[in-house]
């Protein structure tokens, strides 16, 4: 796939693996949408990287915010690449000095890392599936994981 042919959307694109991915895609010629929280440095990074990078403030758990980011991508070129890098973790013990792991903290991790990722996949897949093929490809969705998955 020639990545210069379309738009790449990177969730969690304002830091860590997401930022490195956004930079690499940009350096390879893709137009890039950095999707990250409004409180992130995404806006500053988009300006720093230049005209082929746009920041879309969104929470991956929000259907309407992700849909708006995908619509932003459609204004540039067809969405061809999605890389899911958004994710969080915490270092809370199952049982600690202050009692059991707070269920609300576990639910937040699951909602962002699992449900948020699936939300982006399902909305992006709908758009990618309507693209005209380039060769035999319409686009690709890549899901990343952290080595932190092996900590525990």
- Specify the CATH number for the domain of residue 49: 3.40.50.720
What's the token pair of residue 21? Answer: 């991915």
> What is the pLDDT at residue 108?
96
- In this structure, what DSSP letter does residue 146 have? -
In a domain, 152, yes or no: no
pTM of the model: 0.92
Number of domains forming the structure of the chain: 1
In a domain, 107, yes or no: yes
Residue-number span of the structural domain to which 17 is assigned: 3-146
In a domain, 151, yes or no: no
Instruction: Using alpha carbons, select from 8, 14, 9 the residue that is nearest to residue 87.
Output: 14
For the CA atoms of 146, 147, 148, 151, the dihedral, rounded to the nearest 10 degrees, stands at 150
> What is the pLDDT at residue 148?
64
Do residues 135 and 6 touch, judged by C-beta distance below 8 A? no
In a domain, 40, yes or no: yes
Q: Which residues pair with 33 in a beta bridge?
A: 9, 54
pLDDT > 70: percent of the chain: 97
* 5-59 tens-digit pLDDT: 789 999 999 999 999 999 999 999 999 999 999 999 999 999 999 989 999 999 9
d(CA 149, CA 77): 35
* 108-121 tens-digit pLDDT: 999 999 999 999 99
Do residues 104 and 86 touch, judged by C-beta distance below 8 A? no
The gap from C-alpha 15 to its chain's centroid, in whole angstroms, comes to: 11
């Amino acid at each position: 796939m020639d990545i210069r042919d379309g738009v790449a959307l990177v969730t969690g694109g304002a830091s860590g693996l997401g930022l490195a991915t956004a930079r690499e895609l940009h350096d390879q010629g893709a137009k890039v949408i950095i999707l990250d929280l409004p409180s992130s440095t995404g806006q500053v990074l988009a300006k720093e990287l230049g005209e082929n990078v746009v920041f879309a403030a969104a929470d991956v758990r929000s259907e309407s915010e992700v849909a708006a980011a995908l619509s932003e991508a459609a204004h540039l070129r067809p969405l061809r690449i999605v890389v899911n890098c958004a994710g969080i973790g915490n270092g809370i013990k199952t049982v600690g000095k202050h009692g059991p792991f707070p269920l609300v903290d576990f639910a937040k991790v699951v909602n962002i890392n699992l449900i948020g990722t699936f939300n982006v996949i399902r909305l992006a897949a709908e758009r990618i599936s309507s693209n005209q093929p380039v060769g035999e490809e319409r686009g690709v969705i890549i899901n990343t994981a952290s080595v932190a998955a092996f900590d525990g």
